[in-house]
Structure 1
């Protein structure tokens, strides 16, 4: 009996060691990938990381490491459901294989628990510490150094934690009066899970906004990466247009370098400001009154600087169009339509899954997404189509993750990371937003019925997942928003053209007399055209003189 207990304890010990080694190897791979991604986007100039102060360098490195850790947990949260679904199907296909015996329910359960723990740690402790650490300067009168700034950061973080817990107590007292009492402050078992429940709810609401917008923006991203076919986009025409524009800007720049003057048509490079030495053209001025006073002048080389920037932008567009027009016919006529059809297919499958889940919730065939039982890996397939259905679920999950990230940065333009130009504060903000979205992604997939895999660990113990009205309303709003976004995307051009045609027909049968403002605009347009002719003539004269 003692030998059997010893063997059992030894087996449990070896299983635990094996699981921890697997977690460590997975964490190291994700950490290296996250560090490479952050190194690509973080700003690399003298002000941000290459400081002469040794303390600043240490603080910057620690903050970057904390951001990398948070991004690693973010990627782990995104991969939770795909890894779990694939592991279940692998165990069903190879139940007796020696090479997959390490893949068991304990391993997947431990992965969910670790991701939940570290996501909370990163969101509530590490990322706020990283931001406050970079903004700290040490206590007044204390010896300057890294430890002084650590003390200040910990103090401010403790005060911030007290404020957040106070707000959590107030909100919980409004929502659930029975479990909220001052006599028994159950911090670990009630208030911290309630706080994460609120954060996950915010993340799910963000996904409700970002994911339908991401469905639409992904088509634009594909159009930027891949070249459209000839019947959808004439690359040669765009290339020649950019070439002519580049030649025009070069002539203007040469004229500005010779005389320091330029004309207001096309419109000025910089808007008129109060006190600026710019002589603007009056809209009521007739064509006969146009003379050299219609020039505008930018002093101290500002005109040349603006023209150089404009020339650089036009050159980049021309070079991009030149490279795109040499794209092979296979990529233009086969790869682009295939990518668009794949996006349409995945979007349609996601919307159909949501509609099916809504109907099953209404009829009562499907339970609420809150987890009530312990799931055992490798018992049965979670999809009616078997491995094919599981692969489809994984593809839809990854597509939802890509759409949510695309929609997020479509809304938050200022926080969008730029290669080698993103400051550390923006890196912290990006890691926080991505962590919130990734932590809520398994909850979103379970609410929408994308997969039947149960939410393991504390992910499935979120109380608001048991609210039938809230879950049903979320499904309806998501399906409606995604459908309307796609309809608006593919019918906006047709609706705009129909509106213009009906408007032109109405103007033909019911002509309206031009108003005073329209006559002023017409006079201004005529004068601007005259100024354009003067500009082209003077430009050619200067070039001939040179």
Structure 2
């Protein structure tokens, strides 16, 4: 009887844990979907100004694509929050191991979250986003009845053909680059009956591993650039201080200029063909618009308190500089640990127990710093990606981003966010192990790849920062050198001209003497 009761209790416990996980995931999904929808609607072109609608079918296609993009962006945000949520959970369980209010937070929940994000990332990357793009561009097969189902059939066929091509490439690549004999036998026609079961267990993870490696390489390229670009971006958002400068004087000057321009425009309205004081009416209107913008900016600066106006910008720059310096120092520290052999490679799926020990030697403060650095890495990578030449054209515009651009940006954010946990663990920003299939990528077990990645990241970040803070000085030095060279060139040219004139004059005198 006791064994039967224990069996019932175990099954009840498993059932309650499953229900609790489903409820938590559902609430988290609803929150992320709402935030993603708000973000997409902030950038997308509004329906009343979008002229791409030619019928009711286009409206449904647009709504379906918008919903798929919203899901993809929600998955991307979830991938970004994987490490922060895991780190917070570990610290909470470490500080309050026996608390009744955190019993729902356990290792099973975190493991399942990592597995769900990995599965949904694959689903969005290989199915949802390609389907959304092809569905938006489809028109239906020629000769078929026009409608949303015809467009759906065309999209499904194109997506299936694309999937066959992509998995075929992954199949061939895994057979050539894998030393396993079974893979090579499968390539040449042997063991074909095992091919289809291996799609989900071998080829899809292999393909995602390649995409993740590409995403990590993109992060290696754009994150150091983003570190330098963040100073410029924050400089535009924060009011810059102007010490020993009176804003009231500038406002008085701008106000007088505005009144003078309005008087000239009013005078030119009585004589439209007459040019007022040498300025055409269109030039006067443009000058008035610029003065009004300058006046609004000055009024905005005046409303800011003097303390915030004078200390806000330096404080923000110091925070950005400190975060970047800490990232570089942690990468350098990770390089030394890899060389000595203290640090393990991030490869391998590990089942860890949360709450046993803190991830940082500084305790909760160090864990909070790791979370800030991870989010800072993501922000810098996004800013750096849209700064790179060629990719800047993908930058979304407020209320003026087409659906195709929204799909492209969702794919970019998904690739970058999926590679963020791998990047953070590879660089040693956090010691939290990669759970689920995130840590099963074989290239993570290559010592030379991991070491080279850390070295290139540290050197690239240092060069970008040096280039950022010395650009003005270098430009001034180059300008001064150009001025000196031009002056010397003009001086030598003048001397040559004078010598030629003197020689011609002396030659004329000699002729006269003869």
The TM-score bracket by the shorter chain reads 0.7 to 0.9
CA positional deviation for 1:510: 6.8
Question: Structure 1 residues 452 and 323, CA, compared in 2 at 3 Å: closer, same or farther?
Answer: same
Structure 1 residues 253 and 394: CA distance shift in structure 2, 3 A: farther
1:185-224 per-position Cα deviation (integer Å, ceiling 9, x unaligned): 3212211111001100111111111111111111111111
Check the 8 A contact 1:353/1:450 in 2, yes or no: yes
- Offset at residue 241 of structure 1 (A): 8.0
Residue in 1 that maps onto 2:224: 212
CA distance in 1, matches of 2:12, 2:166: 44
Q: How many residues align?
A: 478
| 1:340 matched to 2:317 | yes
Q: How does 1:49-60 map to 2 (within 5 A)?
A: 51=53, 53-60=55-62
Match of 1:199 among 211, 214, 219: 211
**Compared with structure 1, are the counterparts of its residues 448 and 243 closer, same or farther at alpha carbon in structure 2 (3 Å cutoff)?**
farther
- Which of 77-86 and 373-382 deviates more? 373-382
| Aligned residue in 1 for 2:498 | none
Question: Is contact 1:226–1:331 with CA below 8 Å preserved after alignment?
Answer: no
Which protein is richer in helix relative to its size?
2
Could you say what secondary structure the match of 1:480 adopts?
A: helix
- Which residue among 425, 429, 438 is the counterpart of 1:450? 429
C-alpha distance 126-317 of structure 1, shift in aligned 2 (>3 A): farther
| 1:225 equivalent in structure 2 | 237
Within-5 A mapping of 1:71-470: 71-178=73-180, 179-180=183-184, 181-182=186-187, 183=190, 184=192, 185=195, 186-231=198-243, 258-259=272-273, 312=289, 315-411=292-388, 412-470=391-449
How far does the alpha carbon of each residue in 1:460-495 deviate from its partner, in whole angstroms, 9 at most, with x for none? 001111111111111011001111111111111122
Q: How much is the aligned-residue C-alpha RMSD, in angstroms?
A: 3.2
What SS class does the counterpart of residue 84 from structure 2 fall into?
helix
Contact 2:350–2:435 at 8 Å: present in 1 too? Answer: no
Cα distance in 1 for partners of 2:343, 2:49 equals: 56
> Are residues 234 and 132 of structure 1, via their aligned partners in 2, closer, same or farther at CA, if it must alter by over 3 Å?
farther
Matched with 1:32 is: 34
Q: What displacement does 1:24 show?
A: 0.4
Could you say if the C-alpha distance between residues 500 and 309 of structure 1 is closer, same or farther in structure 2, counting changes exceeding 3 Å? Answer: closer
Alignment partner of 1:2 out of 1, 4, 7: 4
Q: Please give the alpha-carbon distance, in whole angstroms, between the structure 2 residues aligned to 1:213 and 1:233.
A: 33
CA distance in 1, matches of 2:87, 2:353: 12
CA distance in 2, matches of 1:246, 1:501: 41
**TM-score, normalised via structure 1 length:** 0.80
Q: Which residue of 1 aligns with 2:66?
A: 64
* Residues 240-263 of structure 1: CA deviation (Å, up to 9, x unaligned): 68996998899799989945999x
Task: Note the 1:513-528 alignment, pairs <5 A.
Answer: 513=492
Contact 2:268 2:281 in 1 (8 A): no
- Deviation at 1:343? 0.5
Measure how far apart 1:40 and its partner are.
Answer: 1.2
Which residue of the partner structure matches residue 41 of structure 1? 43
Contact 2:349 2:437 in 1 (8 A): no
Seen in structure 2, the aligned counterparts of structure 1 residues 425 and 314 have a Cα distance that, compared at 3 Å, is farther
Instruction: State the Cα distance separating 1:312 from its structure 2 match.
Output: 4.9
Cα deviation for residue 166 of structure 1 reads 2.3
Q: Is the 8 A contact 1:242 1:317 kept in 2?
A: no
Change in Cα spacing, 1:177 to 1:259, as seen in structure 2 (3 Å) is farther
Match of 1:414, SS?
helix
Tell me if structure 1 keeps the 8 A contact 2:91–2:355.
yes
* Distance change in 2, residues 1:145/1:504 (3 Å): closer
Q: Cα distance, 1:43 vs. partner?
A: 0.5
SS at match of 1:9: helix
Unaligned runs of 5+ in 1: 267-302, 516-546
Following superposition, the deviation at residue 363 of structure 1 comes to: 1.2
Indicate which of 10, 13, 24 corresponds to 1:11: 13
Cα distance change, pair 94–148 in 1 and its aligned pair in 2 (3 A): same
Structure 2, unmatched stretches of 5+, are 495-514
Q: What's the CA shift for 1:162?
A: 1.4
User: Counterpart of 1:410 in 2: which secondary structure?
Assistant: coil
TM-aligned CA deviation for residue 366 of structure 1:
0.7
Provide the C-alpha distance between the structure 2 equivalents of 1:389 and 1:232, rounded to a whole number of angstroms: 40
Q: Hey, what's the Cα distance between the residues in 2 that align with 1:216 and 1:243?
A: 39
Rate the CA distance shift 1:160–1:36 in 2: closer, same or farther, 3 A: same
Shift in alpha-carbon separation, 1:57–1:386, aligned structure 2, 3 A: same
Task: Sort the Cα spacing of 1:424 and 1:190 in 2 relative to 1 into closer, same or farther, 3 A.
Answer: same
Tell me which moved more, 144-153 or 67-76.
Answer: 144-153
